[in-house]
Structure 1
Amino acid sequence: MCSTPWKLLGGLAVLAGSMLALLLVGPIALPKHSATNPSGINATAPHPVPILPEAWPLSLAAGAARVVEGTFRLGDTFGNVLNQAGVPGRLIDQLAHAVKPDFNVQRIRSGRAYKIYFTPDNELVLFRYQRSEQQTVLVAKGASGWRAIEITIPYKIRPRFIQAKVLGSLEGALEATSIGRTGAIRLAHELAGIFAWDIDFSADLRVNDNVNLVVEQRFLEGRFVGFGDVLLAELNIADRVYRAVRYQRLGAATAYFTPVGQSLQRAFLRSPVDFTSISSGFSHRRMHPILNIAKPHYGIDYVAPAGTPVHATATGTIAYVGRTGQAGNHVKIRHGGSYTSHYLHLSRFADEIKVGDSIEQGQVLGYVGRTGLATNNHLHYQLDQSGTFVDPLRINLPAGAPLADELMPDFIRQRDAWISILREGQVDRPLVLAGSGE
């Protein structure tokens, strides 16, 4: 806990005024921001920012003469923290009782930050408790007595250009751009989700591949707190260019499209597991490693550590869950139309999956193993079309749906805002919109 005289703070009034402006004005006037993805793409659902019913808490903060701030430690309580700051016990009891309908002080958790504001006469005027990164509880005395309100502090978003060259992993390339380990991991995972239908980052990356991004930087009260969505991505992977543009319209979830408005989401994921290598590809004639005879190999063998989650490559209905001779633990999914997918040699199944269950794309079905006839831990993945096995890595699956014509002007407005930032930062070449837009 530390106590800071107001004359040493200097900027608290400015900070409080800025915070009040954020709360009353709302999000910034860039293309609408949102937060969580209902469709499997890394994105986010809108967070409504409640308007303060009164401006009194922040007005009181701006006029404080002394501020005590700290973090609740294990064993701390609302009462002892306020008492150590100089608040009388009788007032603490009165305050806790008055705000209980809106804020139960007994549920305060260790690790959460707080600030306590006092008048020049050393009277308590405001208690601030940081419930989470964005959620703040303010306790102050209004016209009808002590009360508590919870507010959401909106992020201030600043776009940032990032350019990386791959020398090993995608995470390593991003980390080398000085965004830090945590930021690199977040952006790598988001890119894997955005391009899940086109790129397998565990297999397709090559040395000297290029990654160009425009991403959200999130700030709270002037402090950088992390990265948000990828706004625009241009990846040159194995001499092929992939592009994605985030599009957010009011009241709808975030989604990603090519620069010409074609959805990146497709019927099937590129691969069902985060693998380390492919030990055997699709073949009509392959020497079996155990039986030592030539047999067809109508699938892809993805090598991965035991226990690695296996995901459904497309939405469908479970047609079989069980053990099938040489296939070991086996899940079969019908996807409607003409496609069926198979997942073999699983160590175990995901909890409670059963025949007839509806399955979403990306849902965990089970875990990598070596049940049945297998020499090592791997997933044998098969895809059949109208009763004939096809090569999952070569089959042309349907493209994503395009944006409706009436949405294109708004999409182009958002797209061009991010492209201008990319062009300003890009050192190799500008983004080209002509062609297929892949």
Structure 2
Amino acid sequence: MSTSPGFAGKAFIVAAIGTLSTAWLMHEAPTQSADVSLHASDDIPAHATRDRASTPPAAQAAQAASAVPPAAPAYRVETAQVTHSFSEAASKLGIDAATAAQLARALAGRIDFRRDLHPGSEVRFVFRNDAQADANAQAGTQGNAQTNAQLNTQTGAATAASTTATADEDLPLAVRISTGKTSHDLFLYRNLDGKAFYYGADGQSNAPSFARYPLDYTRVSSSFSPHRLDPVTHRWAAHDGVDLAAPAGTPVHATARGTVTFAGWETGYGRVIKIKNSGDYSTTFAHLSRFAKSLRAGAQVREGQVIGYVGSTGWATGPHLHYEVHVDHVPKNPLTVALPKRSGMSAEEKEHFAEQVAQFEPLL
């Protein structure tokens, strides 16, 4: 009887051999971690990984900071040389005519722009950088809906103040005018309504409520004096004002706000205008060729308003303006008299203003 296995036995033997072969192959194959990484950092050499891991956190932070470009400075300083006039020098730096006039008024009591400035004088301005202003504007627009709703419920007065404050963001924050011998500084300050004013470093307004000069004259033909030989009467008498020579027809301006008390003819004065100004001040304008239209006694005039024109009426040897300033009815020298200044800031406002001066004065 044959002892060879049947077909079923052969199949069993083949399956067993296959199972053993598979087990042996799995045992000989190299093992692999179950945590397989698919990141590109797997290609970094091991020493680079060790170096990065050994870098202190402070050094890593410094490296990260150095990769960030430096922020633009918040302010910039620009300088121009005077060649012909202050307004021309200011326009070179982008200052418009209205702002230049505002600055000139703010320094009217300290400097005569026509005579004190000369070629070589220097004007310096501190501006807010456009990039910084844009960043501030962008930051201001990132408020949430609740903040916007609160802003929309503010009063109309507050909205108007905000509009005023943002309408002239390009105004210079500080100004220095150097004539070679002296320098004069102005600093921008906004009141609670957002209106812009310029003050000296002490918080006082440099702008007087009076202008020093009533016209664009060529020279002082006769000075203020308690005793002068009159060129017409040939007698010694007080000269209660100054004679400012100018071509006939040159406009004459009111030097301060006030009320016309007289406009007519007087012996010696010829055509003359007398104005009662604020406080104890009054002014007189004589030898005029004619008056401005509609000017009469009782009329209100503002500073800078044209009130008449240069002539040689009355006792005059040539075209000029005779100009007087009286304080409490006493004649004073118009070229040196202390002129009343506009009201300054409150004590609290001065405290905030001093902080601004400390910030911007070193930049000038």
SS in 2 for 1:342: strand
C-alpha distance in structure 2 between counterparts of 1:264 and 1:282, whole Å: 25
Identity %: 34
CA contact (8 A) 2:201 2:357 kept: yes
Q: State whether structure 2 residue 80 is matched by structure 1 residue 164.
A: yes
CA contact (8 A) 2:310 2:319 kept: yes
User: What do the CA deviations read for 1:68-99 (whole angstroms, capped 9, x no partner)?
Assistant: xxxxxxxxxxxxxxxxxxxxxxxxxxxxxxxx
Q: CA deviation at 1:174?
A: 5.0
SS in 2 for 1:305: coil
Q: State whether structure 2 residue 247 is matched by structure 1 residue 247.
A: no
Question: How do 1:315-334 residues align onto structure 2 when only pairs under 5 Å count?
Answer: 315-334=257-276
Instruction: Specify the structure having the higher radius of gyration (Cα).
Output: 2
Q: State whether structure 2 residue 156 is matched by structure 1 residue 214.
A: no
Change (3 A) 1:171 1:358: closer
SS in 2 for 1:408: helix
**Could you say what the CA RMSD is over the residues aligned between the two structures, in angstroms?**
3.4
Q: CA deviation at 1:383?
A: 0.9
Change (3 A) 1:378 1:232: farther
Q: CA deviation at 1:289?
A: 3.8
Q: CA deviation at 1:321?
A: 0.7
Q: CA deviation at 1:320?
A: 0.5
CA contact (8 A) 2:222 2:243 kept: yes
CA contact (8 A) 1:279 1:303 kept: yes
Letter in 2 for 1:389: P
CA contact (8 A) 1:279 1:302 kept: yes
C-alpha distance in structure 1 between counterparts of 2:129 and 2:307, whole Å: 35
Change (3 A) 1:172 1:361: closer
Q: Which residue pairs with 2:217 in the alignment?
A: 275
Q: CA deviation at 1:218?
A: 9.3
SS in 2 for 1:279: strand
C-alpha distance in structure 1 between counterparts of 2:130 and 2:316, whole Å: 48
TM-score (norm 2): 0.59
Letter in 1 for 2:176: E
Letter in 2 for 1:204: D
C-alpha distance in structure 1 between counterparts of 2:79 and 2:312, whole Å: 40
Q: Which residue pairs with 2:64 in the alignment?
A: none
Q: CA deviation at 1:344?
A: 1.1
User: What do the CA deviations read for 1:310-363 (whole angstroms, capped 9, x no partner)?
Assistant: 222222221101122321221101124322210112222222122122332333
Q: State whether structure 2 residue 117 is matched by structure 1 residue 205.
A: yes
CA contact (8 A) 1:206 1:238 kept: no
Q: Which runs of 5+ in 2 are unaligned?
A: 1-73, 135-167
Q: CA deviation at 1:390?
A: 1.0
Change (3 A) 1:167 1:227: farther
Q: Which has the higher helix share?
A: 2
User: What do the CA deviations read for 1:180-227 (whole angstroms, capped 9, x no partner)?
Assistant: 8xx5866654432221222222233345433223368999x9xxxx99
SS in 2 for 1:192: helix
Q: CA deviation at 1:250?
A: 4.3
Q: CA deviation at 1:405?
A: 1.9
Q: CA deviation at 1:282?
A: 0.8
CA contact (8 A) 2:106 2:199 kept: no
SS in 1 for 2:176: strand
CA contact (8 A) 1:165 1:209 kept: yes
Q: Which residue pairs with 1:36 in the alignment?
A: none
Q: Which residue pairs with 2:103 in the alignment?
A: 191
Letter in 2 for 1:242: H
Letter in 1 for 2:117: L
Q: Which has the higher strand share?
A: 1
Q: Which residue pairs with 1:141 in the alignment?
A: none
Q: Which residue pairs with 2:151 in the alignment?
A: none
Q: Which runs of 5+ in 1 are unaligned?
A: 1-157, 424-430, 432-438
Q: Which residue pairs with 1:382 in the alignment?
A: 324
Question: How do 1:122-161 residues align onto structure 2 when only pairs under 5 Å count?
Answer: 161=77
SS in 1 for 2:173: strand
C-alpha distance in structure 2 between counterparts of 1:301 and 1:160, whole Å: 45
